[in-house]
Amino acid sequence: MNLMKKLNNRFYSKALSVSFVVVFFTIVIGFASSMASDKPGALLWGENCGRCHNVRPPSSLTDDQWDVAVLHMRTRANLTEEEAKKIVEFLKAGN
Amino acid sequence: MNKFRLVLILATVLLLSQNLFSQGSPTHKFLLGGYGFTNLEMEQNQNAQFEVGFNPIFLWSINNNILFESELEFELEDGGTSTALEYAQIMYIMNKYITFGAGKFLNPTNIFAERFHPAWINKLPGMPLGLSGHTGVQLVAGTQVGLQVRGGVSAGPTKFVYAVYVSNGPSLNIDESDTTGLGKQGAGNNSITNEGEEGGGHSGIAASGTLNYGNIPDNNGDKAIGGRIGFLPIPELEIGYGFETARVGTDDTQYSDVRSFTNVFDLSYVKDYSSLAGRIDIRGQYTWLQVDNPGIGVLNYENISSAWYVQLAYQPYYLESSFLQNLEFVVRYDQLDLPEGAELNVDKNRIAGGVNYWINHSTVVKFAYESTTSEFTDESETESAFVFQLAMGF
Query: Using CB atoms, which residue from A16, A48, A55 is nearest to B243?
Result: A16
Q: What is the pTM of this model?
A: 0.87
pLDDT tens-digit map of B79-94? 789 899 999 999 999 9
Query: Using CB atoms, which residue from A20, A34, A64 is nearest to B154?
Result: A34
Indicate whether B270 pLDDT > 50: yes
User: B120 to chain A: which residues are within 8 Å by CB?
Assistant: 53
| CA distances for B216 relative to B104, B144, B248, B381, angstroms | 11, 11, 13, 36
| CA distances for B272 relative to A50, B12, B263, B277, angstroms | 10, 45, 31, 8
Closest CA to B301 of B340, B246, B259: B340
DSSP string across B228-281: EEEEEEETTEEEEEEEEEEE-SPTTSTTTT-EEEEEEEEEEEEEEEGGGTEEEE
DSSP string across B306-368: EEEEEEEEEE-TT-S-HHHHTEEEEEEEEEEEPPTTSSS--EEEEEEEEEEEEEETTEEEEEE
Structure ipTM: 0.86
Q: How far apart are the C-alpha atoms of B297 and B290, rounded to whole Å?
A: 18
User: A54 to chain B: which residues are within 8 Å by CB?
Assistant: 358, 361-362
* Chain B residue with the nearest C-alpha to that of A61: B31
Tell me the residue range of the domain where B107 lies. 2-393
**Mean pLDDT computed over B200-225:** 78
Q: Do A37 and B154 touch (CB under 8 A)?
A: yes
For position B152, which CATH number holds?
2.40.160.10
- Least-confidence region, from B39-43, B54-58, B374-378: B374-378
Q: Do A51 and B121 touch (CB under 8 A)?
A: no
Q: Give chain B's domain count.
A: 1
Q: Residue A25: what pLDDT?
A: 62
Return the residue in A53, A63, A65, A85 with the most chain B beta carbons within 10 A, the one to mutate for interface testing.
Answer: A53
Burial of B364 (0-12, 13-18, 19+ CB in 10 A): buried
